[in-house]
C-alpha cells in the first residue's frame, strides 16, 4: 500500500475517535505534508472519498445529508470539500440523466465549482496542513456514519420509472410559488406591518391549498400526489434539538409526523407531499421569528439570557405555545371546512392520518417519544410570551385548514 494511502486511512481512523486532539492528528498531517505537500497531487484522497459515497447512498444517505453532517461535525469549509467530491461523482457517472429530480435538486443545492480535493484546496486559499487536516476529518466522519432510512432509492436502484416519477404532484404549483414569494418578501422587508400582511396572505393561501388537496385528492385516490412521502430537514446548531421542537409543533398541527435524529441535526418529516411543503415554508418563517424574538428576550434578560439553559428553555416553550395556537387554528379551520364539505371531510382526514401513521411505523418501527428536558424557567416563560406574539396570519383559523 502506498505511503500516502496508508497515512490517509490511519489518519481517518484517528480523526474519527472521540476526543482526538489537534496535536495527535497533526502528527499524521506532518507526514502527509512531507510526502505530498501539494495536497492530493496524485488523487489518492479523492479516490478514498469517492469510494465511500456509494456505501453512504446504499445506507440511506442523500447528497444534502452528507454535506449537512460534515458541516455540522467539521466545518463549512469541509462541507465544500465533500460537495466537490460528490459533484465529481455525479458528473463522472452522468447522474443528470438517471437520477430522480429530488436527487439532482440536492446536487444543485450543494453544487461546487470544483471537483477535486486539489482544486478545492487551491480555491480555499488555505495552508496545505489545514487542507490535509480537513481531508482526514471528513474521511473519518464519512467512514463512521450510521445507516439511515432509505427515503429515496440509491443510484444502484434508479430506473426509468424513478426518473419519470421523480417529484410528487403536490397540487397547483402556482399556489406554492406564490406562497414562497410572499414569505420571501415578508422575511426580507424591514417594515413589520408589511411583513405581517405578506405572511398573513401566504398563510391564507396555504390553508386553502391544503383543504383543496385533501378534498379533491383523498388518500385513497390514485396518483403520485396521494402517496405519503418522507423527506429530511437539516437543523444547524446552536440548539438544534430545541429548534426541532418547532418543526414538531408545526408538523403536529398539519398532519405531518416528525422523527428527530439529534446527534445528526436531522428531522425526518413524514406526510402528504403538499403538507410537507406547507410545513417547510411555515417552519422557515417561524424559525426566523423565533430567532429574532430570542435575541430580543436575551437583551431584556441580561446576563441570565446568555445561558444555554435560558435559550433552550425559550425555544422549547416557544414551540409548545406555537403548537397550541396552530392546533386551535386547525380545529377552527376544520369547522369552517365542514360547513363547506359536510360529512365527507372527516373520513378523508382520518384516512390521511392513518396513512401517515402507517408510513411512520414502516420507516421507524422502533421510534419512541423522547422525554422532557431540563430548561430554564425564565427562558420558558419568555418563550411562551414570544410565541403568543408570533405572526400566524391575519385569520388564524385559515392557517392550517385540513
Q: What's the mean per-residue pLDDT of the chain?
A: 83
pLDDT digits (tens, 9 = 90+) for 57-106: 999 999 999 999 999 999 999 999 999 999 999 999 999 888 998 999 99
Q: Quick check: 119 pLDDT over 60?
A: yes
3-state secondary structure of 273: helix
Q: What percent of the chain has pLDDT over 90?
A: 46
Res 331: pLDDT: 81
Q: Quick check: 399 pLDDT over 80?
A: no
Q: Return the HEC string of 205-271.
A: HHHHHHHHHHHHCCCCCCCHHHCCEEEEEECCCCCHHHHHHHHHHHHHHCCCEEEEECCCCEEEEEE
Closest CA to 266 of 237, 295, 232, 294: 232
pTM over 0.95? The answer is no
pLDDT digits (tens, 9 = 90+) for 261-313: 988 999 999 998 888 988 888 898 888 878 878 888 888 888 888 898 999 99
| Packing angle of the helix pair 44-58, 128-144 (nearest 10 deg) | 20
Q: Measured between alpha carbons, how far is 261 from 259 in angstroms, rounded to an integer?
A: 7
| Identity of the highest mean pLDDT range in 92-96, 127-131, 178-182 | 127-131
Q: Measured between alpha carbons, how far is 386 from 401 in angstroms, rounded to an integer?
A: 23
pLDDT digits (tens, 9 = 90+) for 2-47: 888 999 999 999 999 988 888 899 999 999 999 999 999 999 999 9
State the burial class of residue 88 (Cβ atoms within 10 Å of its Cβ: 0-12, 13-18, 19+).
buried
Res 118: pLDDT: 97
pLDDT digits (tens, 9 = 90+) for 309-360: 999 999 999 888 878 877 877 787 787 888 888 988 888 888 888 999 999 9
Q: 23-61 burial string, b = 16+ CB within 10 Å, else e? A: eebbebbebbbeebeebbeeebbbebbbebbeebbeebb
Q: Which helix (H) or strand (E) holds 58?
A: helix 44-58
Amino acid at each position: 500500500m502506498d505511503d500516502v494511502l496508508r497515512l490517509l486511512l490511519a489518519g481517518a481512523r484517528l480523526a474519527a475517535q472521540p476526543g482526538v486532539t489537534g496535536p495527535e492528528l497533526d502528527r499524521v498531517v506532518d507526514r502527509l505534508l512531507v510526502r505530498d505537500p501539494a495536497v492530493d497531487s496524485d488523487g489518492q484522497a479523492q479516490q478514498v472519498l469517492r469510494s465511500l459515497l456509494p456505501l453512504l447512498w446504499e445506507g440511506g444517505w442523500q447528497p444534502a445529508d452528507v454535506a449537512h453532517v460534515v458541516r455540522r461535525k467539521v466545518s463549512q469549509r469541509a462541507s465544500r470539500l465533500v460537495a466537490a467530491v460528490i459533484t465529481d461523482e455525479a458528473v463522472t457517472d452522468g447522474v443528470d440523466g438517471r437520477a430522480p429530480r429530488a436527487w439532482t435538486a440536492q446536487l444543485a443545492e450543494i453544487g461546487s465549482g470544483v471537483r477535486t480535493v486539489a482544486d478545492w484546496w487551491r480555491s480555499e486559499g488555505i495552508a496545505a496542513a489545514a487542507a490535509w487536516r480537513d481531508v482526514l476529518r471528513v474521511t473519518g466522519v464519512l467512514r463512521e456514519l450510521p445507516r439511515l432510512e432509505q427515503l429515496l432509492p440509491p443510484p444502484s436502484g434508479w430506473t426509468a420509472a424513478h426518473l419519470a416519477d421523480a417529484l410528487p404532484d403536490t397540487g397547483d404549483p402556482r399556489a406554492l410559488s406564490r406562497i414562497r414569494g410572499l414569505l420571501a418578501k415578508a422575511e426580507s422587508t424591514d417594515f413589520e406591518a408589511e411583513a405581517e400582511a405578506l405572511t398573513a396572505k401566504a398563510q391564507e393561501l396555504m390553508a386553502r391549498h391544503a383543504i383543496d388537496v385533501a378534498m379533491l385528492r383523498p388518500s385513497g385516490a390514485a396518483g403520485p400526489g396521494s402517496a405519503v412521502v418522507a423527506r429530511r430537514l437539516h437543523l444547524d446548531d446552536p440548539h438544534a434539538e430545541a429548534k426541532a421542537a418547532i418543526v414538531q409543533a408545526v408538523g403536529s398541527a398539519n398532519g405531518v409526523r416528525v422523527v428527530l435524529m439529534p446527534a445528526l441535526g436531522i428531522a425526518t418529516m413524514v406526510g402528504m407531499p403538499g403538507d410537507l411543503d406547507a410545513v417547510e415554508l411555515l417552519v422557515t418563517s417561524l424559525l426566523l421569528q423565533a430567532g429574532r424574538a430570542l435575541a430580543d428576550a436575551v437583551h431584556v434578560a441580561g446576563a441570565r439570557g446568555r445561558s444555554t439553559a435560558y435559550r433552550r428553555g425559550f425555544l422549547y416553550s416557544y414551540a409548545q405555545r406555537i403548537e397550541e395556537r396552530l392546533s386551535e387554528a386547525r380545529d377552527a379551520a376544520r369547522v369552517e371546512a365542514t360547513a363547506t364539505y359536510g360529512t365527507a371531510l372527516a373520513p378523508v382526514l382520518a384516512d390521511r392520518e392513518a396513512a401517515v401513521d402507517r408510513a411512520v411505523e414502516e420507516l421507524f418501527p422502533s421510534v419512541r417519544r423522547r422525554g422532557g428536558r431540563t430548561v430554564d424557567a425564565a427562558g420558558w416563560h419568555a418563550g411562551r410570551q414570544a410565541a403568543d406574539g408570533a405572526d400566524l396570519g391575519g385569520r388564524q383559523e385559515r392557517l392550517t385548514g385540513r
